[in-house]
Amino acid sequence: MSNFFENIPYEEAEHIDRITKLTFELRENRLEVLKRHGVADEAQLKQAIIEGAVEEHPGYEDYLSASILDATREVIRDDLNAYLKGL
């Protein structure tokens, strides 16, 4: 197996490492928010709020948090992919 960072300057490798760690943390934090309510995604959480299975507060705030965490992770992943293609 080849080393992905073999021909990448140290500063670039550090930058990539920080970004990938951030995306991991965003993903894990989103999953933790959803887990509090026993749901797999934001749509399920929103439906549970509508049906009254989850209290509106803090359920809706958690719904927004999970949505923002996921959207942020996607933007960062897209930026990282574009960055890697430019190397």
State residue 86's pLDDT score: 86
The predicted model gives 38-48 an average pLDDT of 98
- Entry pTM: 0.89
Q: Which domain holds residue 80?
A: 10-85
Question: Domain tally for the chain?
Answer: 1
> Is residue 14 a part of any domain in this protein?
yes
Using pLDDT thresholds of 50, 70 and 90, give the confidence band for residue 2. low
Q: Does some domain include residue 5?
A: no
- For residue 81, what pLDDT band results from cuts at 50, 70 and 90? very high
Does 3 fall in a domain?
no
Per the domain annotation, does 71 fall within a domain? yes
In a domain, 41, yes or no: yes
4 domain-assigned: no
Three-state helix/strand/coil letters over the chain: CCCCCCCCCHHHHHHHHHHHHHHHHHHHHHHHHHHCCCCCCHHHHHHHHHHCCCCHHHHHHHHHHHHHHHHHHHHHHHHHHHHHHCC
